[in-house]
Amino acid sequence: MSNKSYNSFEMAQAQFDRVADILQLDQATREFLRVPMREFSFSIPVRMDDGMTQIFRGFRVQHNDARGPNKGGIRFHPQETVDTVRALAMWMTWKCSVVDIPLGGGKGGVICDPHNLSLREQEQICRGWVRNMANDVGPLADVPAPDVMTNAQHMLWMLDEFEAIRRGKFPGFITGKPVGMGGSLGRTEATGFGVIFTLREALRDRGIKPADAPASVQGFGNVAQYAIRLYNQLGGKVVCVSCWDQNDQISYSYRKATGVDLDQLLGITDKFGGIDREKARGLGYEILPGDDWLTQDVVVLIPAAIENQITGENVHQIKKTVRVIAEGANGPTTPDADRVIQEREIFMIPDFLANAGGVTCSYFEQVQCNMNYFWEKDEVLGKLDVKMTSAYHAVADLARKRNLYMRDAAYVIAVSRVVEACKGRGWI
């Protein structure tokens, strides 16, 4: 496999440019939407446990808020770049638009590795991030959420810092909080379940039963785990999962022809989603190279890890048995791989539709916080199913009607709604 690197923001812009051509957007609209409206970059000094002060770099990008407050996660990652954050903010704009929730796209990040930081040090980074952004975020402006290597505890520290600065209670400022502290039931399951709600509809459209559609999944974090759980409940099975090994700093695939046992694997998994290799081997799993999740004789592929995983170099390794790809991760497929997938007529459920369950449930959390009334889990997941199913069918119907690739159809709907809001406001 090639080591060619991909710039996520250039990829997001290339996807947008393609749809701008389909929609025949004017030059000013193109220029306005292909770059973020606002960007913030700042330093966060933290006194470490050893008494030394270390400087961390933080970001927030607000892509477009024509349809409502910006919405998007904050990720802690040692390889974080402002271009990754720009791409994710843009994708969030389209994601909120395609499922028709009244929010815009934002994203944040800090260059750090939580594996090497104490909880106190992580708390200081969270509070420092909010101190830098306090005037430009809030329930009516920009609503953050957890992302890669951040969790409910990080969100609660951020909320506490924001409320201390603003001198009041603002539970709608941030989502992904712990249940009982303004968090929503069902939020943990939301992204993974959303992937499977759309996959269920795609298989139904094709007359395929989940029981006849074995799947292979990349990733074993929150999204992958709940996607596997719901797919199993629908009668499907997952025969291979791939995940990152923190000790070896590479990924491995774990295959079991009879189907992986989710609870069994969870019993030998660390808090970052890393599976204990020796214990897995003892439970009858084949240990394969990390990229082998892509080469399985399955009907469904679910990339649910990170960006740029299906590329022009490895897309030809996808087996002829594959009928559907459901993108649980953000930006897992590069544009050159997309062209091959389209030519092979593999049905693609694009990321910003398939994984929009997370932001949809974040929106539900925000609504519940702002009205100070919380729903039961079944109600949350029921509303999520309705939202995801109707968004899927709107995109699939347009794709059929205009003979568009699913990613292009999702973009046409999402971008059209944002353009309409920008024009209606008189911005362009």
Q: List, by residue number, the catalytic residues.
A: 107
Closest CA to 1 of 230, 293, 209: 293
Q: Give the CB-side neighbour count of residue 399, counting CA atoms within 13 A.
A: 21
- Residue for token digits 């702002």? 370
Check residue 296 and report its DSSP letter. Answer: S
Give the tokens for residue 302: 């679910």
Give the tokens for residue 205: 């459209």
Closest CA to 99 of 308, 399, 383, 379: 383
Give the C-alpha separation, 335 to 237, whole Å. Answer: 29
Give the C-alpha separation, 154 to 43, whole Å. Answer: 18
246, 269 contact by CB (below 8 A): no
Interacting residues of 196 by C-beta distance below 8 A, sequence separation 6+: 227, 230, 231, 234, 326
User: What is the edge-to-edge ordering of all strands in the sheet holding 347-349?
Assistant: 286-289, 250-255, 238-245, 215-218, 300-303, 324-326, 347-349
